[in-house]
Structure 1
Amino acid sequence: MNTATSAAPPFRGAAPSPVPASRPKLDQKTGPMTILVFIGLLAIGLLFSSYSLVSDVQEAGSVTTNWVPYLLLGVALFIALGFEFVNGFHDTANAVATVIYTHSLPPNVAVIWSGFFNFLGVLLSSGAVAFGIISLLPVELILHVGSSAGFAMVFALLIAAILWNLGTWWLGLPASSSHTLIGSILGVGIANALMHGRDGTSGVDWAQATKIGYSLLLSPLVGFGCAALLLLALRALVKRKELYEEPKGNQPPPLWIRALLVLTCTGVSFAHGSNDGQKGMGLIMLILVGTVPMAYALNRAMPVDQVVQFSALAQVTQQSMRNTASIVVPNDPRETLTTYLRTKELTPELVPALSAVVGDIGTQVKEHGSLAKVPAAAVGNMRNDMYLASETIRIVDKNDAAQLSPDAKANLKAFKSKIDDATKFIPLWVKVAVAIALGLGTMVG
């Protein structure tokens, strides 16, 4: 007689099987204090950002009777900060998985700890990554970001990134928010080129995209290699068997290992904030330049003495370029620079066109005496000139075919630095808003 029996399937409504003792308890309910802290931080961020935005606009003297740009600004800022919020809870596990799994920190403490250092990472970031990401966007959309096409671009790339992040989070699939956003930007560039009847590949700065792509491709490999080497080194130097086994029950690891795990969680959280937070900053600045250029297109806080140096350097730079190239300035030097940034094809007219735009920038700055005194009608055009000049200098500097003299190259680099000081800045309230969105998102994670 066969006495073997099979286990009967659980009937509907049966109590769920208990969580093993070694598993962290992730089903704790959110306490009222946590909810109050969340709402309080959210309210502080909204009030501070709103007050700072209104103050900046009023101080700049930006007056309009049309409320549509401000409505678009509000929607765009909501979507951009929404991306940072989703980015926060989407990437929370990257930082806290090890400290929760090993019982080094309770789950609720771990996510709050991670959220705080994400917040600090954003606040202390330099902004270099923010404008590096922006340089991937099509040049014509950056120059006309306040147009309907510009807003469509921003909405499309942000909504696509948010949907992908939400989808992968819902399915429990590990995915990078950085890869997602960059893919959205490349998609916008290709679509924009196709809509204008050009080859889709012409809508992306592939040199910059390749540079960023290499870093995204190599970073997991570097992380894999370094982690493997560190593990092998630990096994060779530390002969404690319990360090290489899964946790037993709720017992945390030895104090020094626990401290290392908390330290790595802190570092990953801070690095995530300082890196991923900047992507939102760059897009928010692009939105602000398109909707309220009088307040954010130029760095109105630049000291007057730096503005004087700016104007003098523009004249020196233009003169050094005149000694390099024959002066055959095209009828529309700005269109020449725009075409070059789109195609990367060096033409004889490029250096004279760049020289003309550099000279015009210096003349305008000298005429007004301060960036804060540039009239509203001229702000947009001056910023566009500075953007065209800065991006052209960045690419031409690597092209030996331009045949620039050493003096001209040195002056162009110095002039580009001044241009970037005047255009690539991030107000404190933008950092605070992004930091709170990313930090709260991490806490929700």
Structure 2
Amino acid sequence: MMTGTSVVDALNIPKVINIFGSLIISPIVGLVFAGGLIFLLRRYWSGTKKRARIHLTPAEREKKDGKKKPPFWTRIALILSAIGVAFSHGANDGQKGIGLVMLVLIGVAPAGFVVNMNASSYEITRTRDAINNVETYFEQRPDLLKAVTGVDQLIPSPEPGATEPTEFHCHPANTINALNRAKGMLANVESYDKLSVEQRSQLRRIMLCISDTTDKVVKLPGVSSDDQRLLKKLKTDMLSTIEYAPVWIIMAVALALGIGTMIGWRRVATTIGEKIGKKA
């Protein structure tokens, strides 16, 4: 809205669909897996003596074994599993936290965060070279773009000297035009300070659009494995100054998660170990 464009153009729609799909499918997969595990345990483990031992309280264990603590290997397994869950879950939360903070900053202060303002001239040159290589690849394989778009004629770039439309609409048929626009914006640019706020926002939308088209081309059945690796490498280089996070944001999110865990772990343990256990 700040740049006069649709919010949909600023969103990575395929990624949004993938995220919502995972949010719907993941609980179902977890439910089926957990249900199957419980069924197997009740079927083949319910009548054994070991099952009764896991329900012993510390006082009962002391009477039976002479010690309150669980067996050594049981404690090691609990510690290692807790470490694994904490690491994987914390990494996932960290990625989401960094993404949310960056999304807020891009929306509130696009001038400073829509692209990496601290990108060096080497990184910008790397992005520009990737755009040139992607354009060369698509010019050599126009059949791939036609297969993605489903049309026989791609939208050509404007003639030299012609006025380009100010608005940009993301569509695979616009890929060659988008590549030329990005090349024009980055020509002789060694710092993003030379671009206006509107140009930075448009550059981000254009490169994300090219990235989406590249992903679609990679998934085509006629693309070789070598070409797939090449396109993925070019996509990474192209987005290196767009998909980023400053170090201070990474450190802030990591500290927030770490301090929050140090303070709130007891409440979580009490809820899971006592309240849920009693209700079950």
Q: Which residue of 2 aligns with 1:105?
A: none
Q: Distance in 2 between matches of 1:358 and 1:296?
A: 22
Q: Which residue of 2 aligns with 1:265?
A: 82
Q: Which runs of structure 2 are paired with 1:323-342 in the superposition (5 Å)?
A: 323-325=140-142, 328-329=155-156, 334-337=168-171
Higher relative contact order (CA 8 A, sep 6+): 1
Q: Which runs of structure 2 are paired with 1:29-428 in the superposition (5 Å)?
A: 140-141=6-7, 143=9, 206=17, 209-211=20-22, 213-222=24-33, 243-249=53-59, 251-325=68-142, 328-329=155-156, 334-337=168-171, 350-351=172-173, 353-371=174-192, 373-399=194-220, 411-428=230-247
> Would you say the 8 A contact 2:115–2:242 is kept in 1?
yes
> Would you say the 8 A contact 1:277–1:435 is kept in 2?
yes
Q: Which residue of 1 aligns with 2:250?
A: 431
> Would you say the 8 A contact 1:317–1:412 is kept in 2?
yes
Distance change (3 Å), C-alpha of 1:410 and 1:244:
closer
Q: Distance in 2 between matches of 1:413 and 1:318?
A: 14
> Would you say the 8 A contact 1:298–1:423 is kept in 2?
yes
Q: Distance in 1 between matches of 2:237 and 2:71?
A: 52
**What is the CA-CA distance between 1:368 and the residue it aligns to?**
0.7
**What is the CA-CA distance between 1:290 and the residue it aligns to?**
1.6
- What per-residue deviation string (whole Å, max 9, x for no partner) do you get for residues 165-189 of structure 1? xxxxxxxxxxxxxxxxxxxxxxxxx
**What is the CA-CA distance between 1:233 and the residue it aligns to?**
10
**What is the CA-CA distance between 1:283 and the residue it aligns to?**
1.6
The alignment's TM-score, normalised by the length of structure 1, stands at 0.43
Any stretches of 5+ residues in structure 2 without a counterpart? 61-67, 143-152, 159-164, 268-280
SS at match of 1:299: coil
Q: Distance in 2 between matches of 1:306 and 1:203?
A: 26
> Would you say the 8 A contact 1:311–1:362 is kept in 2?
yes
The alignment's TM-score, normalised by the length of structure 2, stands at 0.65
Counterpart amino acid of 2:209?
Answer: L
Q: Distance in 1 between matches of 2:236 and 2:93?
A: 24
> Would you say the 8 A contact 1:361–1:382 is kept in 2?
yes
**What is the CA-CA distance between 1:361 and the residue it aligns to?**
1.8
Distance change (3 Å), C-alpha of 1:227 and 1:302:
farther
- What per-residue deviation string (whole Å, max 9, x for no partner) do you get for residues 367-403 of structure 1? 2124465444422111121222223322343255xx7
Distance change (3 Å), C-alpha of 1:427 and 1:223:
farther
> Would you say the 8 A contact 2:94–2:253 is kept in 1?
yes
**What is the CA-CA distance between 1:275 and the residue it aligns to?**
1.0
RMSD: 4.1
> Would you say the 8 A contact 2:114–2:204 is kept in 1?
yes
Count of equivalent residues: 236
- What per-residue deviation string (whole Å, max 9, x for no partner) do you get for residues 168-225 of structure 1? xxxxxxxxxxxxxxxxxxxxxxxxxxxxxxxxxx999545533553344324444565
> Would you say the 8 A contact 2:128–2:186 is kept in 1?
yes
> Would you say the 8 A contact 1:297–1:380 is kept in 2?
yes
Q: Distance in 1 between matches of 2:79 and 2:225?
A: 50
SS at match of 2:57: coil
Counterpart amino acid of 2:114?
Answer: A
Any stretches of 5+ residues in structure 1 without a counterpart? 1-68, 70-138, 146-201, 338-349
> Would you say the 8 A contact 1:316–1:411 is kept in 2?
no
